[in-house]
Structure 1
């Protein structure tokens, strides 16, 4: 595991890069499949303790805001990395009772298009699929820390209430994406 902090490639107001990625349910998804008020694209993986620690929070966001929010998990790690790959994604989805699509980015082109470098690396988009927030799920920066401030949820509420987000980029910390050689 290599601890990495997210960096900013997409700027506020930029459109979400489109994708056509296979989900663990066998369907191929694109941006057009997600038409809620908000879209939360989170780069995650199967092996990372940072993802393990924040996944229940992501699942809870999807459940709590299901009428207004679509969460999409994207795994861009090298499929040959231990614990990764499509079969392990299917298994992980079942083990963690994930309630959102989990997609594989085999070429890693989608991670590059978004500028994702770590897991989890969350991107929040409005109904026009324009970036409104790129940052952490909560302020707990280590897996063993108990979160006190639900950063992403606060920002979801702000967008739903027509309020602006003061800090558009609030770096997430997690495991580095495992790039292919």
Structure 2
């Protein structure tokens, strides 16, 4: 089963790279050191969530993810673990679902609510209905992580890319990029690897 899952994820990665390539071109997004513009997105509890809601935090672990993507499913527990580890230290997770839900029924808002309830998400899970937030960030895949640090009232991009270097198996990770990035920022050190290649399914654009 483990070998099959490895083969399946590898095949899906190749397919997602091909499918998302056309959208990645011309999508500049934010660069390291850029200030992030505010946004307003609907959470699974019905309330609107904005970047301004996190002004009392040291920063934010912002994750573009989805229900249907096998990579997102594989990383789901690791995303939950990141929030459990870092939220109390000032770096909570904010999960954003950027896909066109008509492409996959699993990504519908109702199924987002069901998933958040089933897995007892300790963080907001919002939908990017117009996909404008994903385009502004330059996101191309799920999952794809942006670590933001609050500096003088602005959220500054400090890291973008993968959660770690082992999409198939958490135990096999040699580098835990997001954990390293947030730990460095909390210690007042620069991020060692501020950019890595996101590994996941291509965002399903409208």
Q: Same fold (TM over 0.5)?
A: yes
Query: Are residues 178 and 145 of structure 1, via their aligned partners in 2, closer, same or farther at CA, if it must alter by over 3 Å?
Result: farther
Question: What's the CA shift for 1:79?
Answer: 1.6
Partner in structure 2 of residue 23 of structure 1? 43
Q: Among 57, 61, 73, which residue is 1:40 paired with?
A: 61
Measured against aligned partners, the alpha-carbon deviations of 1:99-124 in whole angstroms (never above 9, x if no partner) come to 11000011000000000010001000
Considering only CA atoms, is the larger Rg found in Structure 1 or Structure 2? 2
1:164 and 2:190 matched = yes
- Root mean square deviation, CA, Å: 2.0
Matching residue of 2:97: 75
Matched position secondary structure for 2:205: coil
Higher relative contact order by CA 8 Å / sep ≥ 6: 1 or 2? 1
Q: Note if contact 1:76-1:177 (Cα within 8 Å) is conserved in structure 2.
A: yes
TM-score (norm. length: structure 2): 0.81
| Shift, 1:126, TM fit | 0.3
Structure 1 Cα separation of the partners of residues 204 and 169 of structure 2: 19
Taking the aligned partners of 1:66 and 1:167, their CA distance within structure 2 comes to 22
Q: Structure 2 stretches of 5 or more lacking a match?
A: 1-11
Does 2:199 match 1:179? Answer: no
The whole-number CA distance in structure 2 between the counterparts of 1:3 and 1:143 is: 19
Q: Which deviates more, 4-13 or 53-62?
A: 4-13
* 1:54 alignment counterpart: 75
What is the number of equivalent residue pairs in this alignment? Answer: 180
Counterpart CA distance in 1 for 2:74 and 2:156 is 28
Q: Does 1:3 align with 2:25?
A: no
**What is the CA–CA distance in structure 2 between the aligned matches of 1:144 and 1:100, rounded to whole Å?**
21
1:155 Cα deviation (Å)? Answer: 1.0
Bigger mean CA deviation after superposition, 144-153 or 56-65:
144-153
* Partners of 2:99 and 2:60 in 1: CA distance: 22
Structure 1 gap segments, 5+ residues each: none
**Normalising to structure 1: TM-score of the pair?**
0.92
- Most deviating of 143-152 and 113-122: 143-152
